[in-house]
Structure 1
Amino acid sequence: MTAPALRIGTASGRGALLAAVLASGMVFLDSTVVNVALPRLGAELDAAVSGLQWTINGYALMLAAFVLLGGALGDRFGRRRIFLLGVVWFTVASLLCGLAQDTGQLVAARFLQGAGGALLTPGSLSVLQASFHPDDRGKAIGAWSGLSGVSTALGPFVGGWLIDTLSWRWIFFLNVPLAVLVVLAAMRWVPESRDEDASRTEEAGRRRRHFDVLGALLGAVALAGVTYALIDAPARGFDSAPVLVAAAVGVLGAIAFVLVERRRGDTAMLPTGLFTSRLFSALNVFTVVVYAALSGFTFFLAVYLQNVVGWSALLTGVALLPMTVLLLVGSPRAGALSARIGPRLPLSVGPAVAAAGLLLLRGVGPGASYWRDVLPGVALFGLGLTLVVAPLTASVLAAVEDRFAGVASGFNNAASRAGGLLAVAALPLLVGLSGTGYEQSAELTGAYRGAMLWCAGLLLAGAALAALLVHRPPREAPPSQPCQSLPASTPPKR
């Protein structure tokens, strides 16, 4: 029997919205402050640069590899059930992160946290989509987006204060009381739902028998192999056996993933027929490039501002706040502009403006003034990113048939996370930062300035790609909310 649809003005509707917002808030808070916590946890745990990289990438790897599978699990086994499993899993892993006594324990816990996030992240929105009456669905999702944006904006203040006042461990411990509220609210007010219509059809029966766990595992193997090779190459050497084996495993995993997905056709986690659209392919390459620059920038800036410029964790977190505010305020307007003039101009100009911001930030040094030296670059970067987020998401959705909208959106989300994952793995290698070099002012300064050049170059490459290959989709999708587009490893999420 189908549960009655929720209405936004009722107690049950408000309770379901509360559960979704608080769950997203847990993920958003960790996303905004883990980078800021890196210098403190690195010093306390005596971590090398590779340890900091895996702290970010362990989470990003699991999320990028399994977020599509997490959404499919909710459709099949029950959206509330998988959502609650994700919340509990994420929270237990957060507790383990906060209790970690060395880098190995922290990285292992971050892998577990990413797996929980892959269940939680699609569920926080899908429960609203499935539970609310069609007349109130847009209002519920809009409220979720706005309130989630508030949590994203508060993240730097709350996280930075916790790091400075208590310990970096409390950015993870804070998830425990939030999770208790989420579980209570979801059990009380969120109705169970699943893809009942699909399960009644013979075609859906075939899809259920071909539930694509193998595709998700091969994708994870491909990303993990390449990431391990990039992170360990500075310490072990490019010709060492572990690095060569990891690289080979990554490449073979990627080839096997493509072959498996091609053989399964429309029942695959990622139907390869989507890539017959040149626009869809170009937009996803663009996504990887731009979000690689974003993740590389935030990784290096957070460490540099504390270890070289001498700022506190709170001030470092707040330094990125203008970017979040610009995204929240400007993304709907950028989406409307793209709907009028097409995505090519915003997707070409936006990365170029963001690159200019990074070139300004490259000159930041010890004793820098926030208002004079940091704010202009961050504001330019945020303005450029604002021109990208909503037009990119809307164009990806419009580039495929409606029946593939969920898969296309999920893959684009995974592409953004994969771009960030590879950037955090590769940039320290490219700029010669390894060991405990992040604690040495001169070594970190040279690496930071080199990283800003690489990230600016990636953004300019993205701008050129958009100018050459992006065009107005055959049909325009509605402008997306900003918080649904950015990846978890960035200050504003999804």
Structure 2
Amino acid sequence: MFAQEAHRLESCTRRCHVRGVHRRKGRVMRKWWPLVAVCLGSFMLIVDTTVVTVALPVMAGDLGATVAHVQWVLNVYTLALAVMTLGAGSLGDLFGQRRVFVSSLAVFAVASLACGVAPDAGVLIAARGVQGAGGAAMIGTTLALLGSSYRDRDRGTAIGVWSGVLGIAAAAGPLLGGVLTQYLGWRAIFFVNLPVSVVALVPAALSVGDPPRREGARIDVPGMLAFAAFTGTLTFALIRVGGGGGWTSGPSAVLFAVSVLALVAFVLVEVRRKHPVLDLALFRNASFAVIVLCVVATSVTFACLVYTSFWLQSALGLGSLPAGVALVPMALTSFLASVLIGKRLHAVPPRVTIGGGLLLIGAGCALIGFTVDGGSSWYALAPALVLVGAGIGVSGPGTNAAVLASAPPDRGGMASGAMATFRQLGQALGVAVLGLFYLAAAQHPAPGEDVRDAAARGLDDVYLIAAGFGLLACLLAFGPAGRGIMATTARRDPTGARR
């Protein structure tokens, strides 16, 4: 009898232990659902900035349009991101980051479907604009959602993983576009977003919480419109310059002039608003200005990938798929470095990771600039791309953590949207400026140079300029102004509240 009771008690204990283990595993899995949702959404929207690049000629032939016409399939997406990201982040502060994020996922999915079934270039361009609007709302809220969903070491891990996903997505776009276009057709580029959106919607709707909202605040419509006019005209002008329109041509000059006037109007509006869409007081802090410059410097590095792809395909004769494979070392290293640094983020001063990462980026870019020549093959890039990827992975988590620390908890969307906007503008500026140097060398060989030598010289110029940006930002991060980055984050506890 005692043996039966003992056996029954042992069986009950075992069942309770198993249930406890399953419950703990379930809690752990649910804890990371917000990260899964944010990473899936971020991966889609970043990939879609470049995934169509290799498919543009095929799109033009299928839709009966010129390549110049379908270039707007790429440009209108970039334009929508630049114009709407800051406003979307601010709306998240007012109405809830989760609500804005989930709605943007749904918009992105519907727009992706419209892109995939588009019968002509006009419909495709319009749908891409809507897709960009959905992407702007996602990227404008993601960092704030991570900040509200995780604390302490978990926050560092989440930011590290998310930063790594952004790095992989930026480098993987041409590769993924080449694979899908070659084997499934260009429409698959957009259809693949549908299942990913559905998978991301479930954890986003069920497990993502909202940061504190700004009580009593109103939508800053004049500020949003003025900032949209500034970023829209500036990005449009840079797109024209990058496409060969010229810095001083009539349309470009008008666009630059309008962007300056819109910026002045934006500043005048914001200094008088009680609840501005962008708190300009942040820029009085030298450390915040350094963070912005570091974001721009990293974005210029991503702009280099455009001309790296040109060099791989036009000078070396690689197809779109091999050219994408050549960039894998950077993407993989970026992800691994972000995850490793993110786990230790809470114990490392942000200026150390930001400055150290930019030093690696500058060194990697300089290595390409000084070693690539007309006889180089694609694998000559690998060691330098590993350095650049490591730098992006090391600096990304620290930059994002510093951005979160720079704003009050109820303005996380503003800070997130501002950094995403500066990142987008930095990349557009990088493409336009670097394009002048690459094309000047590649299209005008010096006496005694062949086409391959000239293209290599253009690529060297691109990466040496990017190295200069990276090293300058590195010096500022380690300099007197960068000391405030550590002080800013130190004034907050892990929950984001001021001490």
Give the TM-score of the pair, scaled to structure 1: 0.74
| Contact kept? 1:7, 1:133, Cα under 8 Å | no
Distance 2:30 2:272 in 1: 44
Q: 328, 335, 338: which one pairs with 1:328?
A: 335
Q: 2:294 aligns to what?
A: 286
Counterpart secondary structure, 1:145: helix
1-structure distance, mates of 2:403, 2:284: 13
Residue 309, structure 1, aligned to residue 309, structure 2? no
Which residue pairs with 2:194 in the alignment? 176
* C-alpha contact 1:83 1:120 (8 A) present in aligned 2: yes
Query: Partners in 1 of 2:162 and 2:25 — Cα distance?
Result: 14
Where does residue 420 of structure 2 map in the other structure? 413
Of residues 256, 259, 263, the one that matches 1:254 is 263
Contact 1:222-1:251 at 8 Å conserved across structures: yes
Residue of structure 2 equivalent to 1:383: 390
Q: Distance in 2 between matches of 1:428 and 1:356?
A: 18
Q: Which moved more, 1:59-68 or 1:387-396?
A: 387-396
Tell me whether 1:33 sits opposite 2:40 in the alignment.
no
1:471 aligns with 2:488: no
Are the aligned partners of 1:324 and 1:382 in contact in 2 as well (CA < 8 Å)?
yes
Greater shift after overlay, 277-286 or 150-159? 150-159
Who is 1:482 aligned against?
Answer: none
Residue matched to 1:244 = 253
Structure 1 letter corresponding to 2:272: R
**What is the distance in 2 between the residues matched to 1:314 and 1:41?**
17
Q: Does 1:350 align with 2:380?
A: no
Residue 40 of structure 1 and its aligned partner are, at CA, apart by: 4.9
Change (3 A) 1:193 1:407: closer
Match of 1:109 among 89, 108, 127: 127
Q: Quote the Cα distance in structure 1 between the aligned partners of 2:159 and 2:295.
A: 24
Distance 2:350 2:239 in 1: 43
Two-structure CA RMSD over aligned residues (Å) = 4.3
- Report the counterpart of residue 83 of structure 2 in structure 1: 65
Q: Distance between the aligned counterparts of 2:156 and 2:24, measured in 1?
A: 10
Separation of aligned partners in 1, 2:239 and 2:330: 28
Q: Residues of 2 paired with 1:147 and 1:338: CA distance?
A: 18
Matched, 1:9 2:26: yes
Q: Is 1:297–1:452's contact at 8 Å kept on the other side of the alignment?
A: no
Post-superposition shift, 1:100? 4.9
1:352 and 1:463 in contact (8 A); partners too: yes
The 3 A distance-change label for structure 1 pair 239 and 134 is: closer
Following TM superposition, by how much is the alpha carbon of 1:16 offset from its aligned partner in structure 2, in angstroms? 5.7
Structure 2 counterpart of 1:471, which letter?
Answer: G
Corresponding residue for residue 237 of structure 2: 229
Task: Decide whether the 8 Å contact of 2:97 with 2:413 is kept in 1.
Answer: no
Distance in 2, Cα, partners of 1:389 & 1:166: 34
**8 Å CA contact 1:36, 1:302 repeated in 2:** no
Task: Kindly indicate whether the alpha-carbon contact (under 8 Å) linking 1:304 and 1:448 is maintained by their aligned counterparts in 2.
Answer: yes
Q: Which amino acid aligns with 1:339?
A: P
Q: In structure 2, how many angstroms separate the alpha carbons of the residues matched to 1:134 and 1:384?
A: 25
- Give the CA deviation at 1:411: 1.9
Cα deviation, residue 462, structure 1: 3.7
User: Which has the higher mean CA deviation after the structures are superposed, 314-323 or 93-102?
Assistant: 93-102
Residues 61, 421 of structure 1: 8 Å contact kept = no
Map of 2:182 onto structure 1:
164
CA 1:398–1:251 in 2, change beyond 3 Å: closer, same or farther? same
Give 5+ residue unaligned stretches, structure 1.
1-5, 200-204, 479-494
Greater CA drift, 246-255 or 391-400: 391-400
TM-score, normalised with respect to structure 2:
0.74
Q: 1:449 to 1:387 in 2, by over 3 A?
A: farther
Task: Give the counterpart letter for 2:286 in structure 1.
Answer: R
What secondary structure is seen at the aligned counterpart in 1 of 2:90?
Answer: helix
Higher Cα radius of gyration: 2
In 1: Cα distance, 2:210 partner to 2:406 partner: 29
1:325 aligned counterpart, secondary structure: helix
Structure 1 150/59 Cα, relative in aligned 2: closer, same or farther at 3 Å?
closer
Tell me the equivalent position of 2:399.
392
CA shift in 2, pair 1:181/1:388, >3 Å:
closer
1:486 corresponds in structure 2 to none
CA contact (8 A) 1:38 1:303 kept: no
Distance, in Å, in 2 between the alignment partners of 1:146 and 1:250 is 30
- The aligned counterpart of 1:319 is 326
* 1:145 corresponding residue in structure 2: 162
**In structure 1, distance between residues paired with 2:168 and 2:305:** 18
Does the C-alpha gap of structure 1 residues 330 and 48 become closer, same or farther in structure 2, counting only changes over 3 Å?
A: same
Identity %: 31
Contact 1:345 1:467 in 2 (8 A): yes
Partner Cα distance (2:405, 2:209) in 1: 30
The count of residues paired between Structure 1 and Structure 2 equals: 451
Segment of structure 1 superposing worse, 17-26 or 88-97:
17-26
Shift of 1:393: 3.5
Deviation at 1:428, TM superposition (A): 3.2
Q: 1:298 to 1:240 in 2, by over 3 A?
A: closer
CA positional deviation for 1:86: 0.8
**DSSP-derived class of the 1:264 partner:** coil
Change (3 A) 1:21 1:166: same
Q: Structure 2 unaligned runs (5+)? A: 1-22, 445-449, 491-499
Distance 1:63 1:155, change over 3 A: closer
Matched, 1:121 2:139: yes
